[in-house]
Amino acid sequence: MNCQRFDEVINDVAREQIMDATLRHEAFRHIRECSTCAARLNDEQALTHQLRDFALTTKSMSAPERVGAHLLEAFDSQSEVRRQPIRRASGSRYWLAAVAALVLVVCGLFIAFLAGPTAQQAGVTNLPEGERGKKFRKRRH
């Protein structure tokens, strides 16, 4: 393992997270060889322990009851938010959209009709009469 790869796993190692045993072994082997990464791991572990201690000491803390009372009073004093009525699409908009869709479909069909089948799509070839007969006979056999 090199320093760059160790940098990718240092947080998991410092927080004692579940990780691949081989990867953990390689990380510890690397810190035995690299004093810079070992010092960084020590710093990360110290920070992790300090944060855990801080979380434990502040877990039981709560705001005084007067703060809660002031918050409830502030919420009660605010006027109730009025609901905005939901606007429904008007009937004219619906019919306008339906007509537009119909016009698009008709235009598409008209363009397809004008384009018509090409000679290849219709199966027509430009072979002379004698050639067409030979080709037809070859297919039958």
Each residue's pLDDT tens digit, 52-106: 888 888 877 777 788 888 888 888 877 666 666 666 656 778 788 888 898 999 8
In the chain, what are the domain boundaries?
A: 3-58
**Backbone φ and ψ of 131, nearest 5°:** -70, -40
- Return the pLDDT at 113: 79
Give the number of residues written for the chain. 141
Provide the pLDDT for residue 94.
79
Phi, psi of 16 (to 5 degrees): 55, 45
How far from 133 is each of 45, 94, 123, 127, 140, CA to CA, in Å? 89, 58, 14, 9, 11
Top-confidence residue, 132 or 101 = 101
For residue range 5-17, what is the model confidence (pLDDT) as tens digits? Answer: 988 898 888 888 8
The pLDDT score that the predictor gives to residue 29 is 94
Q: What is the pLDDT of residues 22-67, one digit of tens each?
A: 999 999 999 999 999 999 999 999 999 998 888 888 877 777 788 8
